[in-house]
Amino acid sequence: MSFTGKYELQSQENFEAFMRALGLPEDQIQKGKDIKSVSEIVQDGKKFKVTVTTGSKVLKNEFTVGEECELELLNGEKAKALVQMEGDNKLVAQVKGMKSVTELNGDILTHTMTLGDLTIKRVSKRI
């Protein structure tokens, strides 16, 4: 299954609490909570390019499954990570004590991040 495509955010749970835990300023959290972000994923075998556009903010990450990489986090910080593939539709990464799981089911992309006892769930649909 290929992740390649554009996905528009449909819903998110626990956005504000999760962003506060990451240390984002309150004004950025309030601006970002109602903006529909668009994620563009290009997959070439085990290589991925992910671009997330939220308003004027663009977050770009490139990684190869199974190889250590540097990822930019939602708060702009960069951290080393290792992204693994589970089955043919799930990407799992551990980044700075946070677990990130991205799962593709048909046209629905679900991204769940867990930090301590806080979890954010973002559901996007292929456009």
What pLDDT is attached to residue 52?
93
Which of helix, strand or coil describes residue 18? helix
pTM for the whole thing?
A: 0.90
For the ranges 42-51, 67-76, 112-121, the lowest mean pLDDT is seen at 67-76
Q: What is the pLDDT of residues 78-119, one digit of tens each?
A: 999 999 999 999 999 999 889 999 999 999 999 999 999 999
What pLDDT is attached to residue 85?
97
Q: What is the pLDDT of residues 72-87, one digit of tens each?
A: 987 788 999 999 999 9
Is the pLDDT reported for residue 61 higher than 90? Answer: yes
Residues above pLDDT 90, as percent of the chain: 77
Is the pLDDT reported for residue 46 higher than 90? Answer: yes
Report helix, strand and coil shares of the chain as percent, to nearest 5.
Answer: 10, 60, 30
For 117-121, the CB contacts below 8 A with 24+ separation are 118/14, 118/17, 118/18, 118/21, 119/13, 119/14, 119/18, 120/12, 120/13, 120/14, 120/15, 120/18, 121/12, 121/13, 121/14
Question: What is the set of domains in the chain, with CATH numbers?
Answer: 5-126 (2.40.128.20)
